[in-house]
Amino acid sequence: MALLCLCVVGDLLCTGSADKTIGLWRRQSSGELAKVGSIRGHEGPVKCLQASWCRISNGCMVYSGSLDKSIRVWWVPNGLELDGNEQQQQDKCFKDQNEKERVFLR
């Protein structure tokens, strides 16, 4: 997976990649980065990202631009964490602002 862009909002690192996804990462107490989610919906590589906290909805808005010539807006909830056993977690699904695409969080 080739990373093409990244942005940081609070303790959340967002990465855009050539595989058309946005990765969501948090730093663990050990200092290592742990992937806590993935956003899928673009039909081309994700080339630019920006994010901002939304105090009202207790989460952040992630804005992504892609080579598919689209800009999308995603809501990511605050407090997204891994519980140490990724296989046992069920995917949570959130819709983007157009309610056509889905954000999958592990």
Render pLDDT for 11-37 as a digit per residue (tens, 0 to 9): 899 999 999 999 999 988 898 999 999
Q: Give the per-residue pLDDT at 31.
A: 84
C-alpha to C-alpha distance for 101 and 95, rounded to whole angstroms: 6
**Nearest to residue 53, comparing CAs of 87, 12, 99, 100?**
12
User: Tokens 């997204």 map to which residue?
Assistant: 80
pLDDT at 80 over 80: no
Token pair belonging to 105:
């969080």
pLDDT at 105 over 60: no
By CB atoms closer than 10 A (0-12, 13-18, 19+), residue 103 is buried
Q: 32: how many CB neighbours lie within 10 A of its CB?
A: 8
- Label residue 52 by pLDDT band (50, 70, 90): very high
Overall average pLDDT of the 96-101 stretch: 50
Q: Give the per-residue pLDDT at 81.
A: 54
Q: Give the per-residue pLDDT at 28.
A: 87
Q: Give the per-residue pLDDT at 79.
A: 67
C-alpha to C-alpha distance for 84 and 98, rounded to whole angstroms: 33
Overall average pLDDT of the 6-10 stretch: 93
